[in-house]
């Protein structure tokens, strides 16, 4: 329980954070709880949100630009790269266990695995979100 020692060695820090009257957590909760918006302020915030959404739609309406096509090609090529090397990693297990373990650990690491996850979320995320929203409307 070495990681727990900082709580017992710094009572001033604990009081500053967790004190029920003047602690940082209670101050943050009071700040959040004391925010009151009038109906007019809510309407202004909603109007700004509508304008921002309209601007975004106008900017992304033409999704067949060269830049968006290039992004799609890069995403498809990276997914192909990742799936091909994953196949090599699994197939090489029967030949050289160490190479297979090294390759699969590299593919599941932060550099390749994180990039693959980001590409999948960015490339297919909007489609999945749209399908999810449509399924909620049907119910």
Per residue in 80-118, pLDDT tens?
999 999 999 899 888 888 988 888 888 888 888 888 888
Give domain status of residue 70, yes or no.
yes
Helix (H, G, I), strand (E, B) or coil at 23: coil
DSSP string, 101-135: HHHHHHHTSHHHHHHHHHHHHHHHHHHHHHHHHHH
pTM of the full structure:
0.46
Separation between Cα atoms, residue 127 and residue 134, nearest integer Å: 11
Separation between Cα atoms, residue 103 and residue 112, nearest integer Å: 11
18-28 pLDDT per residue, tens: 666 666 667 67
Separation between Cα atoms, residue 68 and residue 123, nearest integer Å: 11
Give domain status of residue 21, yes or no.
no
Domain range enclosing 117: 64-138
Query: What crossing angle do the helices spanning 24-33 and 11-18 adopt, rounded to 10°?
Result: 10
Give domain status of residue 102, yes or no.
yes
Structural domain tally of the chain?
1
The predicted pLDDT at position 31 comes to 66
């Amino acid at each position: 329980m070495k990681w727990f020692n900082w709580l017992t060695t710094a009572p001033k820090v604990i009081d500053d954070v967790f004190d029920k009257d003047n602690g940082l957590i209670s101050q943050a909760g009071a700040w959040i709880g004391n925010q009151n918006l009038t109906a007019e302020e809510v309407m202004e915030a909603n109007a700004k949100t509508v304008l921002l959404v309209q601007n975004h739609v106008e900017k992304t309406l033409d999704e067949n630009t060269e830049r968006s096509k290039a992004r799609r090609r890069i995403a498809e090529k990276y997914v192909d790269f990742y799936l091909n090397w994953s196949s090599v990693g699994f197939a090489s297990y029967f030949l050289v266990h160490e190479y297979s373990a090294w390759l699969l650990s590299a593919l599941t690491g932060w550099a390749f695995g994180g990039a693959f996850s980001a590409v999948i979320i960015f490339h297919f995320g909007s489609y999945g979100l749209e399908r999810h929203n449509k399924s909620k409307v049907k119910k």
